Amino acid sequence: MTERIHNFNPGPAALPLSVLEKVQAEMLNFRDSGMSILEISHRSDLFGEVLASARNRARRLFNLPDNYRVLFIQGGASLQFAMAPMNFLGTGDRADYINTGTWATKAFEQATLLGKNVRYAASSEDQSFSCIPTKADIDTGARYVHITSNNTIRGTQWRTYPDTGGIPLVCDMCSDMLSRPVPVEKFGLIYAGAQKNLGPAGLTLVIIREDMLLWNPDAVMPTLMRYKTYSDHYSMYNTPPCFGIYVAEKVMAWLEEDIGGLEAMASLNAAKAERLYGALDATDFYQGTAAEADRSLMNVTFRLRHRDLEAIFIKEALAAGLGGLKGHKSVGGCRASLYNATGMDAVESLVAFMKNFEKRMG
């Protein structure tokens, strides 16, 4: 492959070309320091400016009220599965989880592993996670309700967030963070690994309501597991994931300055998804797997009516410059991930390929 492909990877995933070009241009000599960003001290003024800018851009993009903090952490979303219950649930505290797929299950499992008092308030497991539960039996005494805003594997998404009667949502927003505006006041904690809509793997963006930093002050836990450590030290208690933060700052600059913010991004994302779902629905050669009302705008999951053609479809697509279309190994089939940096041009190319494939094979 000598040219860049249309990238439908589920994560790590496509980044805006202009961001990659800027990273490339600055790689040998970052802002006349004579060094790359990879080689400078995290305590330097130069890096301090990058970190502050990343934090401020996240604040503006999410339109964060003053009582929310932005933290940059390592360990991926999977570490957050454990950190959230550790930090928020003391002796006698309870929390509810809503099970919408593999990642939601893993989040729940970490809470139970830690001996926390958690239960499922709703689940779509009996429908093979093809939809979002319509009702949840929320415990009014729960400290938080955990949801997964977008289910990367099954291709479902919370289009509107559940009504919890004021109990804060703790949300795994890995695969749709920064794809649309978010009503932040409903959330106590938002977390996401960067590797889909924000930047390189190794960085986790965390947004936390500040009173929740003090919810479980007496619990014994490693210093780096405590959200307050990151908040008190502006995410610089120890060496932060500098390169990830640097790329994320550029991706958020692209979102703010080139795209025009999350409203604009959401319209572009809706148009891309509508185009692809429209093409899927126009024929029974392809079959969407998620319930229509709950379809993800980020991960479009589908099967071919002739299952034995799926491997050929994926192989030929790649040869035609369309990469990353294989479904998750746990469910098979096909999946086109349409994160922010995957443009309508990529979707148009995929739709054209799909029509042509059907004509030849159908």
Binding residues for L-glutamate: 43
Q: Shortest CA distance to 204 belongs to which of 186, 224, 222, 187? A: 224
Q: Is 158 in the site for ligand PMP (CB under 6 A)?
A: no
Helices (H), 189-261: 227-232, 242-253
Please give the annotated binding residues, written as ranges.
Answer: 43, 77-78, 103, 152, 172, 195, 238-239
Find out whether 101 and 131 touch, Cβ atoms under 8 Å.
Answer: no
Applying CB under 6 A, among 9, 11, 208, 323 the residue interacting with ligand PMP is 11
Angle between helices 76-88 and 102-113 (to 10 degrees): 40
Q: Is 77 in the site for ligand PMP (CB under 6 A)?
A: yes
Between 33 and 78, CB nearer to ligand PMP: 78
The type of residue at 109 is: E
The residues facing 290 across adjacent strands are none
Q: Shortest CA distance to 67 belongs to which of 214, 177, 174? A: 214
Among positions 292-331, residues that touch ligand PMP (CB under 6 A) are none
Single out the segment in contact with ligand PMP by CB under 6 A; choices: 71-79, 113-121, 160-168, 276-284. 71-79
Q: Is 179 in the site for ligand PMP (CB under 6 A)?
A: no
The angle at the Cα of 269, spanning 267 to 273, to the nearest 5 degrees, equals 120
Residue 272: active-site member:
no
Q: Is 152 in the site for ligand PMP (CB under 6 A)?
A: yes
Between 149 and 229, CB nearer to ligand PMP: 149
SS3 per-residue string spanning 281-329: HCCCCEEECCCHHHECCCEEEEEECCHHHHHHHHHHHHHCCEECCECCC
Q: How far is the CB of 235 from ligand PMP (least distance, A)?
A: 17
Q: Is 78 in the site for ligand PMP (CB under 6 A)?
A: yes
Q: Is 177 in the site for ligand PMP (CB under 6 A)?
A: no
Dihedral, 133, 137, 138, 139 alpha carbons, nearest 10: -150
Q: How far is the CB of 358 from ligand PMP (least distance, A)?
A: 29
Q: Is 206 in the site for ligand PMP (CB under 6 A)?
A: no
Residue 254: active-site member:
no
Q: What is the DSSP letter of 171?
A: E
Q: Which of 103, 158, 215, 254 is catalytic?
A: 103
Tokens coding 112? 């139970």
3-class state of residue 7 by DSSP: strand
Among positions 131-150, residues that touch ligand PMP (CB under 6 A) are 148
Q: Which residues, in sequence order, are CB contacts of 208 under 8 Å at separation 6+?
A: 68, 69, 71, 188, 189, 190, 227, 231
Applying CB under 6 A, among 9, 99, 124, 175 the residue interacting with ligand PMP is 175
Q: Is 244 in the site for ligand PMP (CB under 6 A)?
A: no
Q: Which of 96, 176, 196, 250 is catalytic?
A: 196
Applying CB under 6 A, among 9, 57, 69, 76 the residue interacting with ligand PMP is 76
Residue 172: active-site member:
yes
Between 110 and 164, CB nearer to ligand PMP: 110
Between 114 and 344, CB nearer to ligand PMP: 114
Q: Which of 96, 172, 176, 294 is catalytic?
A: 172
Find out whether 38 and 26 touch, Cβ atoms under 8 Å.
Answer: no
> Cα–Cα distance between 129 and 153 in angstroms, integer?
10
Between 206 and 276, CB nearer to ligand PMP: 206
Q: Is 172 in the site for ligand PMP (CB under 6 A)?
A: yes
Between 74 and 117, CB nearer to ligand PMP: 74
3-class state of residue 19 by DSSP: helix
In the shown chain, the binding pattern of residues 95 to 114 toward ligand PMP, with x for contact by CB under 6 A and - for none, equals --------x-----------
- E-strand spans in 113-186? 117-123, 145-148, 150-151, 156-157, 169-172
Q: In terms of DSSP bridges, do strands 299-304 and 156-157 run parallel, antiparallel, or are they unpaired? A: unpaired
Catalytic residues: 103, 172, 196
Note the residues at the interface with ligand PMP (CB under 6 A): 11, 76-78, 103, 148, 152, 172, 174-175, 193
